[in-house]
Amino acid sequence: MTSNLRILLIAFTLITMAVACSRPDGPSLMSIDNDVSMASTSSSNDIQNEIEAYADIPDETIEETFERIQRTSSGHAAINSDKKIAQVFYSPDQSSATTNIISNPGPFEGTRILETTGRETEEFVEVILPVTPNNTSGWLIREDITIAESENLIIVDLSERKAALYVGADLIAEAPVAIGAPNTPTPALEAIIDAIWERSTSETKLPSLYGQRLFGLNKHSEVLSDFDGRRPALAIHGTDEPDLIGSAVSNGCIRMHNDDMAIFAEHVTLGTRVSIIG
């Protein structure tokens, strides 16, 4: 390979990474370290349990996905406001404390929200940690958190490039979306919204490519190991390139027209469930 060709390939790679998107990691994926101090994620203990319910996402339509999720319970845990950090445990046992902690608030200015797995004891609740790989789990002390459920649901159909918003049994809105490029595809998975950002009200300043609003997910790209040195967290967000909506162009994030994001934002709250299919 000639030196000129090498230079061209390097330049192309840098340009591709610059124009593609991934979620800012409260305040920004591009400038802030991981929200969770993970000093021992390589442990052979069960902190990296794969949650069976999320192992395989069925090949189904938006309507079929809605019916399936309506039959399941999906909760989330909010770290109590008086707790600035929450200790992570390998198992539901006080003697199994890890070196890992979760900060609160965050991401951005909101309360720290974590997806629950449905497994719990009198003293502990198992949660999905905001780290890679997806569905890495750990246990939190029940007294440190408040558990809730959300009736709000966003379903993103990658093949149709469309998002649908439900509140309870009601379809509230549908919108076209842009999805991940072929080399950085948006993964099919289940998630919750763990961060909400709005340009007009947030203290955090983000580049114009994110549009006016962003809904951060607690899951990540499954092909990128990092994004600008940070974890490759996913998001649904607005855009400053509306002509690209309907295309496969991002680094894994889901883009929507800013007007559609405003409609969704009227109903989306922390803990809102997200199902990406297709």
CA dist., res. 202 & res. 29, Å (int): 16
* 185 bridge partner residues: none
Residue 70's pLDDT band (boundaries 50, 70, 90)? low
In this structure, the answer to whether residues 156 and 138 fall within a common structural domain is no
CA gap 182, 186 in Å, rounded: 9
CA distance 97 to 65: 37
Do residues 122 and 171 both lie within one domain? no
Half-sphere exposure of 165 (CA within 13 A, CB side): 19
- Tell me, yes or no, whether 214 lies in a domain: yes
Same domain, yes or no, for 248 and 189?
yes
Containing domain of residue 249, as a range?
Answer: 21-32+151-277
The number of domains in the chain is 2
> Which carries the bigger pLDDT value, residue 85 or residue 61?
85
Residue pLDDT, tens place only, 219-246: 999 998 888 777 899 999 999 999 999 9
Domain-located, residue 227: yes
Query: Residue 254: inside a domain, yes or no?
Result: yes
Maximum Cα interatomic distance, the chain, rounded to a whole number of Å = 65
Of residues 76, 220, 253, 257, which has the active-site annotation? 253
User: Which pLDDT score is estimated for 71?
Assistant: 56
Whether the CB-CB separation of 155 and 275 falls below 8 Å is answered with yes
Contact 252, 187 (CB under 8 A): yes
Q: What letters, b where the CB count within 10 A reaches 16 and e where it falls short, cover 253-276? A: bbbbbbebbebbbebbebbbbbbb
pLDDT value of position 107: 83
CATH code: domain of residue 209: 2.40.440.10
> Catalytic site residue 257?
no
Q: What percent of the chain has pLDDT over 90?
A: 65
Residues 178, 235, single domain; the answer is yes
> Is there a domain that residue 195 lies in?
yes
pLDDT given at position 56: 52
Reported as a single tens digit per residue, the pLDDT across 177-230 is 999 999 999 999 999 999 999 999 998 888 999 999 999 999 999 998 888 777
Report the phi/psi class of residue 196: left, alpha or beta, with left for phi > 0 and alpha for psi in -120 to 50: beta
pLDDT at 38 over 90: no
Can you give the CATH number for the domain in which 98 is found?
2.30.30.40
Cα–Cα nearest to 147, from 73, 77, 88, 72: 77
Q: Answer whether residue 128 is part of any domain.
A: yes
pLDDT digits 0-9 by tens, 95-149: 999 999 999 998 888 899 999 999 999 999 999 999 999 999 999 999 999 999 9
170/122 same-domain check: no
Predicted pLDDT at 74: 67
- Which residue out of 220, 237, 257, 267 is catalytically annotated? 237
Query: What band does 29 get if pLDDT is binned at 50, 70 and 90?
Result: very low
Q: What DSSP line would sit under 69-96, residue for residue?
A: HHTS--EEEEEPTT-SEEEEESSSSGGG
Calculate the CA 120 to chain-centre distance. 23
Do residues 240 and 162 both lie within one domain? yes
pTM of the model: 0.79
pLDDT value, residue 40? 36
Q: Are 106 and 26 in contact (CB under 8 A)?
A: yes
Instruction: Retrieve residue 49's tokens.
Output: 């349990």
Residues 173 and 208 in one domain: yes
Q: State whether 166 and 138 are in the same domain.
A: no
Query: Does the structure show a pLDDT above 90 at 157?
Result: yes
Residue 39 lies in a domain: no
Residue 90 token pair: 């390998």
Q: Are residues 124 and 69 part of one domain?
A: yes
